[in-house]
Amino acid sequence: MKKLRIRYISHACIQLTGEFGSLITDPWILNEPIYAFTTWKYPPAVIPPEQIVDNVDYLYLSHPHEDHLHIPSLDKFPRHIQVLLPEYGDYPCLRSQTVERTFREMGFYNITKIKPWQTILLNNKTPFTIIPACKTKYWDWENSGFVLEHPDCKVLNMNDCPSDPELYAMLDARFGKMDIGFVQYSGVSMYPGRYRMPKEEMRAASSARKHSWIQQKNMIECLSVARLAPFAGDFAWLDDSLYHCNWANRATPKLFEDFVQSNYPEKKIEVVIMYPTDEWTIDSGLTRNHHEINWDNYLAEIDCVKQALQPKVDAVRAWIDGSSVADLRERSQAYTEHLNKWVTTEFVDFSARVRVYIEGGNANFSFVMKATPEDKFSFDWHDEDNVDQSLYISEKLWGAVLEGKVLLTNIQWAAENFQQVEFRNEIARFWFWLENHLDLNNRNAQALIDRALHPHIKDRIRPGHGVFQIENEWSFDYQCIDDIRKVV
């Protein structure tokens, strides 16, 4: 019997190889930034893509967030690969078709849609079951996870998929004990790093911020899991203007390991921290192929990655800053009027108001984005009433939005926020809705499948959009890290 082997590629991308062949998940395998070209990875990807895409039989995509549905990475895969996607039969709307439409526009044709709790056999041998998002977080219905039942090992991969005790009770009753469970240990958050506040106040907010670990607690408390592998939290910010987010906005797998060991010692759960190129089998355990990371000094190691990728970072910055700021107000009014005409009215069951300020010598104007269950969503240039939040966007970044370089759905990660009222869940719901709908079912600036958005752009699938290659990209010089260790 062929044993199951798991290789960690990068972020939420793992490669599982066994009796069924080879399955790869959520491939963000390149060192290219996401979320309005602001967010990179640490540790970075170190495996050249040509060494990943060969001899892969299946590609699973859990949901359409850009760190999973990454167009430049997907473009590296052969179009005949068997693509596995979750089916959203309870939600017959355009949003539920975005991922499949994107794959088909890219030329992938061998696509299988799998319903919640449905099991298929990979290579007619290995059961593979889709796990849906929990009902309590009903607005996040696009998310999914899976269970792979290999003869020697049972794997649960929940990615970012929201869970609750009811969901895990169903999972536990059906599958029993899991040999290893993959779960995200940290997501991207606007607070506090993307809030407009003094650095001293931001540091205090960051220190006071508690990692709730809700999804992780659910997995630990509601399931029988022998091992937990924290992943998909390896975000990094390499542009100087955003560098502070590295200490303000992210957690580390070591923090998660400490949390498990401190709060659940009786569970005797092994925490398997994997880095790019590391491998794991149930018999041999973890094989560490990557260098060890000192998480007590990770900012210094991020500095090394920043140094290696600085030409890319500078190229992205110059590309964004090269956006036109001429006639900005007139172009902005035309753009928002067009979105008001085309944007969906679905799933608006919350109320929130955000004033957007465009800042710069050619700008200094504002408008309101607002939503209510009765009136749905709209842009309003005449609304002078109080708002819940203010969002500050530089004129060059806004120019990039108007040109179609950057999607408006991801602008909050590059802008600055200011809280005007006490935060409430409806505000979070507003941003979640905006991420999913405001760009007319387009989820990635490199795949504009809804042609009502920026109709002037001819090439709708553009995997090279915002991608800047550099020499020796896959030959990271870790002498920088070695020097740091000598000092430490």
- Counting residues of the chain whose pLDDT is more than 90, the rounded percentage is 91
Tally of CA atoms within 13 A in the half-sphere of 6 that contains its CB: 30
Question: Per-residue pLDDT for 488 more than 50?
Answer: no
* Cβ density class 397-416: b for 16+ within 10 Å, e for less: bbbbbbbbbbbbbbbbbbbb
Question: What are the sequence ranges of the domains in the chain?
Answer: 5-293, 328-437
What pLDDT digit, counting tens, does each position of 352-410 carry? Answer: 999 999 999 999 899 999 999 999 999 999 999 999 999 999 999 999 999 999 999 99
Q: Residue 188's pLDDT is what?
A: 80
Q: What is the mean pLDDT of the chain?
A: 95
What pLDDT, in 10s, does the model give residues 185-233? 988 889 999 999 999 999 999 888 767 788 999 999 999 999 999 999 9
Distances (CA, A) of 307 to 69, 294, 481: 27, 18, 11
Mean pLDDT along residues 25-41: 98
Q: What CATH number has the domain spanning 328-437?
A: 3.30.1050.10
> What is the C-alpha to C-alpha distance for residues 215 and 461, in angstroms, rounded to an integer?
34
> CB atoms < 10 A from the CB of 210, how many?
6
Please tell me the least confidently modeled range out of 54-58, 168-172, 272-276. Answer: 54-58
Instruction: Render pLDDT for 418-464 as a digit per residue (tens, 0 to 9).
Output: 999 999 999 999 999 999 999 998 999 999 999 999 999 999 999 99
Would you state the structure tokens that stand for residue 50, as one six-digit string?
A: 């040509």
Cα angle 10, 307, 35 (rounded to 5 degrees) comes to 50
**For a pLDDT cut of 70, what percent of the chain falls above it?**
97
In DSSP notation, 452-483 reads TSSTT----B-TTTT----TTTT---THHHHH
Quote the distance between the C-alpha of residue 396 and its chain's center: 24
Judged against a pLDDT cut of 60, whether residue 487 lies above it is answered with no
The arrangement of secondary structure in 5-293, i.e. its CATH architecture, is 4-Layer Sandwich (3.60)
Of 202, 207, 468, residue with least CA distance to 317: 468
3-state secondary structure of 379: strand
pTM assigned to the model: 0.96
